[in-house]
Chain A
Amino acid sequence: MRYQVSLYIGIASFISYSLLLLLISSYLLAQMVIIISIILFVLGIFIMSSFSSEERSTEPRNKLKFIAVLLPIMMIIFSRGYLAQHFTGFYSYNTADTIFIAVLFPIAELSVVILSNYESAIYFGKRSERAGYNMEDVDQELGRFSRVILLITLLSVALGYVSFLAVLTLPTFDIGLIPALIIFFAVIIILMRNTISKTS
């Protein structure tokens, strides 16, 4: 099926995320957390696939993928800054390169979004199968759906980096506190107005 590509990308993202984390940690506690998160991730996919074969009126939810991704993220968070003084078990992540950490976050979130997309597609696919749809056509449409979401996700990742770079470089312009606050609130108001008008 065409939308299976989402599953492969989701899994690949998570595997690379887990491997990178394993590479930079020699602590047993940290490695245990990563292994638990991998188990939860696999379990989530398995449960989600078995849900999809059942007759359900609402889409099954795979919460485990969130937990699987969040566990190592929390571990990293607790290893940074002054929090690391209290959570010494994860200290190895404190020594990891900042850029390395910067790569991990988007990969993890990309994995969650892409998997959610796959779950929606597989749910619709299974429902359509029983409802007399032309499965080839459904497969094509869900394939388009997966492709577009994948594109938006990649674009979001790219724009996320651009925004991050902007955050890093903006202080070098030294625009002053008041103008910075004005710009900040102006952007917030514009975004809020548009969001409200879109969602109302």
Chain B
Amino acid sequence: MIKEWSKQLITLVLLAAVIAAIAIIATEKTLILGIFFPIIFVLIILYTVKDVQISLSVQSPQRLKVGEEAYFYVKIVSKGGFGLFNITLPTFSEMEIVEGTNVCLMFKSFREREKEVSFKIRTTRRGIFDLSNTEITYIPVIGIVKSEKITIQTSKTIEVVPAITMLKKSQFQFRSKVIKPRIAISRLGPPSNDFESIRDYIPGDPYKTINWKATARRNSQEKLLVNVYEREGMKTFIFILDRGSNMLSGSSSNNPLEYSIPLILSGAKYLTSKGSNVGFWETRTFSETKAPYIQPSSGADTYTKLRRILIRVEAVRNKNIKYKADKTLSHIIAETLPQVMLITSLNESNYGNISEFSSSLMASGARLTIMDILSEGISAKYRREDISGLFQRKIIKNTKSGIYKAFPSGCTIVQWEPVSENLGIAAARLAMLSGW
């Protein structure tokens, strides 16, 4: 437009000049009128234009949850300039606009102009994001003044925290397929009066714990069922998160890593609320000397620390992961004999290393449960909508059975197909096998 206006105005001025020349030749005074109009038009605009002056204020929430929607309110004030402002308002990566738009036009004439714009966004991924700068293209109404690109810094960050599911005890109080040890591997105190679950009787169980009603209901199998009570003292649970490239299958906001974060946080929230000790480690690359970790502890502070780490955690692409427990983790495992939950996504290329890692953890004294997040379904979701189902259950089980055989016998593996199964199901599976 700038170019066009410029040319048109130049044409108008030229037109005036030509008319003036011909008017002189033709000795006709009336023709002078043709000179005035374009010149006055240009002068009016030139003399009313002030230097460009534009400012804006953004009102946005500082913290959001993944999947949450929020409004951004932007107030634009222009005190100078005369023309159109083409404005791109600040946003951040990993979000989508669900209502309104972040681009707008604003025409500023002689008077000061204010404009309010709002748009609604939905967060798609956790993280700490810097709001982008506001990009403005000023297109003066008169082309003699050049168009200008203006950047307004937006020094604002938005923290997008993972959306967790509040797990309830009732979700895990069904009969576990795996017999929980009477003497916990983790160092525990005596049983309390808090009911935890029902399981098959094992010789040595106190008679008072036999649940006669439940046994009667299942009399066909002629097996006794006993109540399991929570033990006093603190169990120790350690989450280990795999940061390998296997955790990036799918899109940036829909991959095993993104699914594992709410699972860990939901689990940690539940476990800390039960008084258990929760620790967290993440796998490192060979070039990383250290990675953030949380020593097993209980209380809200542990959860807050864990959330802070998990907001920032990123998987690494094209780098080999060092599947080896560091000194601190090895020491803690030997000391507390914890329940370790390794959250990963097993595939043909990484299962050998993870299997070795599992063996070493178990050798240190950990009781290990591996949560295998099935990435095939996630990837399939982005190829064809209807093909996702094909990967579920049978095909995946067949392909995975060979992989699982490579793992030590004491290690339990649970699968989670996040595309078709919600977080509650995954947590319940993990809880059953890990003794939450």
Contacts and interface: CB of A to CB of B under 8 A. Distances in A.
Are A and B subunits of one complex? yes
Contacts of A101: 30-31
Nearest to B97: A132
B26 A156 contact: no
B216 interface: no
A101 B223 CA distance: 114
Nearest to A147: B109
Interface in B42-60: 43-47, 49
A116 B41 contact: no
Contacts of B100: 134
A8 to B, nearest CB: 20
B1 interface: yes
A153 B37 CA distance: 8
Contact of B37 (A124, A137, A160): A160
A22 interface: no
A102 B26 contact: no
Interface stretch (B17-25, B163-171, B187-195, B276-284): B17-25
Interface stretch (A36-44, A161-169, A174-182): A161-169
Interface string B79-95: 00000100000000000
B46 A80 contact: no
Contacts of B32: 164, 167
Contacts of B26: 77-78, 80-84
B40 A137 contact: no
Contact of A59 (B3, B37, B38, B144): B3
Contact of A124 (B11, B29, B44, B84): B84
Contacts, number: 146
Contact of B40 (A70, A76, A156): A156
Contacts of B44: 152, 155-156, 159
Contacts of B40: 155-156, 159-160, 163
Nearest to A94: B28
B387 interface: no
A78 B27 CA distance: 11
Contacts of A105: 19, 30-31, 33-34, 37
B414 interface: no
Contact of B141 (A133, A145, A161): A145
A22 B327 CA distance: 99
Given A106-B37, A144-B109, 10 more contacts: A77-B22, A77-B23, A83-B22, A105-B19, A109-B37, A133-B105, A141-B105, A141-B107, A152-B41, A160-B33
Rank and list the top 5 A-B pairs by shortest CB-CB distance, nearest first: A81-B26, A160-B36, A80-B28, A156-B41, A81-B27
Interface of B: 1, 3-5, 7-8, 11-12, 15, 19, 22-23, 25-34, 36-38, 40-41, 43-47, 49, 84, 100-101, 103-107, 109-110, 141, 144-145
23 contacts: A61-B7, A70-B15, A77-B19, A77-B23, A81-B28, A105-B37, A116-B8, A119-B4, A131-B103, A132-B101, A141-B104, A141-B107, A142-B105, A145-B141, A148-B109, A156-B37, A156-B38, A159-B40, A161-B36, A164-B33, A168-B29, A191-B43, A198-B47
